[in-house]
């Protein structure tokens, strides 16, 4: 009986501390958000043509495979996005984000245009290069706080914006189906 309890505890602890390495980027099992510690839900690689352009990890209060519930939830989450290709520039990242919002919102971007433009501006303020790390921390009541390489560069308010942003990666029509599968831990 003691062996069974020990083995069960070992399996649970291994799962708790499991990190994920994708395309040379290690996503830690836990990440500190603004309101507490979050758990890695999953991670994936964004591919465009033949390039692996970034690695994305999604951190939640508790793991979930239900994309709609994650998008609907008004709880803190963190997205870690690490640029892994030298083909990524501020210009093409800005275009990709715009296209992502158009897919997420089924073309109806007008109600969020000012917020989307401000968010895109986050990526066009400085040149983007391979190795850059963006952390998007959604805090209910405060908005999406975006940091680049540890420096806060913008805060975009609104739960409506947060839902549209998550929809880019895990919505009904994501920018990359394989990325969605990985981020949802499937």
From the CB of residue 93, how many other CB atoms can be counted at a distance below 10 Å?
A: 21
Is the pLDDT score of 12 beyond 80? no
The 10s digit of each residue's pLDDT in 55-84 is 999 999 999 999 999 999 999 999 999 999
Query: Domains (ranges, CATH) in the chain?
Result: 21-183 (3.50.70.10)
The 10s digit of each residue's pLDDT in 100-135 is 999 999 999 999 999 999 999 998 888 999 999 999
Q: How many residues does the chain have?
A: 186
Is the pLDDT score of 5 beyond 50? no
Cβ atoms of 144 and 119 closer than 8 Å: yes
- % of the chain exceeding 90 in pLDDT: 85
The pLDDT mean for the chain works out to 91
**Could you tell me which of 11, 9, 15, 44 has the C-alpha nearest to residue 29?**
15
Cβ atoms of 158 and 143 closer than 8 Å: yes
Q: Locate 11 and state its tokens.
A: 């399996």
Torsion, Cα 121 36 39 105, to 10 degrees, reads -40
Check residue 89 and give its pLDDT: 93
């Amino acid at each position: 009986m003691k062996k069974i309890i020990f083995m069960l505890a070992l399996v649970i602890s291994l799962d708790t501390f499991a990190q994920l390495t994708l395309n040379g980027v290690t996503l830690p099992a836990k990440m500190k958000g603004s309101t507490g510690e979050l758990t890695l839900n999953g991670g994936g690689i964004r591919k465009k043509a033949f390039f692996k352009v970034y690695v994305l990890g999604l951190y939640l209060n508790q793991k979930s495979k239900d994309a709609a519930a994650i998008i609907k939830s008004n709880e803190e989450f963190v997205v870690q996005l690490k640029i892994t290709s030298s083909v990524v520039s501020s210009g093409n990242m800005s275009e990709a984000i715009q296209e992502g919002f158009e897919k997420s919102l089924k073309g109806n971007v007008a109600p969020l245009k000012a917020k989307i433009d401000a968010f895109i501006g986050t990526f066009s303020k400085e040149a983007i290069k391979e190795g850059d790390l963006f952390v998007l921390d959604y805090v209910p009541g405060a908005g999406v706080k975006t940091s680049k390489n540890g420096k806060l560069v913008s805060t975009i308010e609104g739960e409506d914006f947060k839902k549209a942003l998550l929809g880019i990666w895990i919505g009904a029509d994501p920018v990359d189906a394989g990325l969605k599968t990985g981020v949802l831990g499937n």
